[in-house]
Amino acid sequence: MHQLIDSHCHWDHPRLQSLQPQLWQSCLDQGVTQLVVPATKESSFARQISLCEQYPNWHLALGLHPYFSNQHTQAHLTVLTAAIERHKPLAIGEIGLDFALDMSLEGFSIAHQEAWFVAQVKLAQHTQLPLIIHSRKANDRLGQLLRQLNFNQGGIVHGFSGSLQQAEKFTHLGFKIGIGGNLTYERAQAMRRLAQTLPLTDMVLETDAPDMPMAGQERGQPNRPDMLPRVLLVLAELRSESLSEIAMQTVKNTLDALRIN
């Protein structure tokens, strides 16, 4: 068994909490001994904070997710700022851009998403925190904004999907690339090639549970953090590297990116 960190798990999500306490025991049995718990919207902060305070290996990140950019308000940003001060999350996230969202829906626009992103990058600069970034069809624009803002605190681009060049632009900015359950699908050829090519020092492992079901999971079943070893297994096969080497390096990468000591 190899020690792993799930670098992206929505642990506070009711679908995972309804599986507790067995689920955490199962994580430990599978070697998944730490979780990074990113936020999505202000209304969940309190639940997420109290959960992460219960156990030091559940690591808190706070931020406003682009999925809910139509719901965020200036007051939420104020709450976020105060919560960072008070609860010391290890990163701001997940924040980012999602250009796959239907922008014709009321309250959604690229400008709107970008405004929330930029405000939170500035907050990260002010508080010296790394970022956990959500990027869907937005790698180039995110890279551009981060460079314009001279952001140099690094972090993780989670659930990465894109080209090697796009991944390298993020790693040159000090980010690690989140590799998740996507990799378990044989049809994910581009992702699998990327995972073979990227240096191991640039990668972290994640599930994004309860989202992003893994290959072979029954329809409608939630993805779970105790399934993280499946990602490790596929990555080891693809890269012809040992499980222990990949486990050790990706744990180190996560600890480094989020400055967990």
CA angle, 94 then 165 then 185, to 5°: 65
Q: Which stretch binds Zn ion (CB under 5 A): 45-53, 105-113, 179-187, 201-209?
A: 201-209
Q: Fill in the per-residue mask, 204 to 223: x = in contact with Zn ion (CB under 5 A), - = not in contact.
A: ----x---------------
State the minimum distance, in angstroms, from the CB of residue 174 to Zn ion.
20
Tokens of 191: 């992702």
Q: Which stretch binds Zn ion (CB under 5 A): 12-20, 28-36, 200-208, 252-260?
A: 200-208
State the minimum distance, in angstroms, from the CB of residue 208 to Zn ion.
5
Nearer to Zn ion, 6 or 208 (CB): 208
Nearer to Zn ion, 197 or 221 (CB): 221
Nearer to Zn ion, 37 or 246 (CB): 37
8 A C-beta contact, residue 33 and residue 57: yes
Tokens of 44: 């969940």
Q: Residue holding tokens 């626009």? A: 109
State the minimum distance, in angstroms, from the CB of residue 38 to Zn ion.
5
Tokens of 41: 């919207």
State the minimum distance, in angstroms, from the CB of residue 25 to Zn ion.
23
Adjacent-strand bridge partners of 133: 95, 157
Tell me the C-alpha distance between 152 and 138, whole Å: 19
Q: Count the site residues for Zn ion by CB under 5 A.
A: 1
State the minimum distance, in angstroms, from the CB of residue 5 to Zn ion.
15
Distances, alpha carbon 91 to alpha carbons 136, 163, 219, in Å: 20, 25, 32
Tokens of 57: 């290996």
Write the burial class of residue 86 (CB in 10 Å: 0-12 exposed, 13-18 middle, 19+ buried).
exposed
Tell me the C-alpha distance between 145 and 117, whole Å: 9
Site for Zn ion in 45-104 (CB under 5 A): none
State the minimum distance, in angstroms, from the CB of residue 43 to Zn ion.
16
Tokens of 183: 């990799």
Nearer to Zn ion, 2 or 130 (CB): 130
Q: Fill in the per-residue mask, 225 to 244: x = in contact with Zn ion (CB under 5 A), - = not in contact.
A: --------------------
User: Which residues of this chain interact with Zn ion, rule CB under 5 A?
Assistant: 208
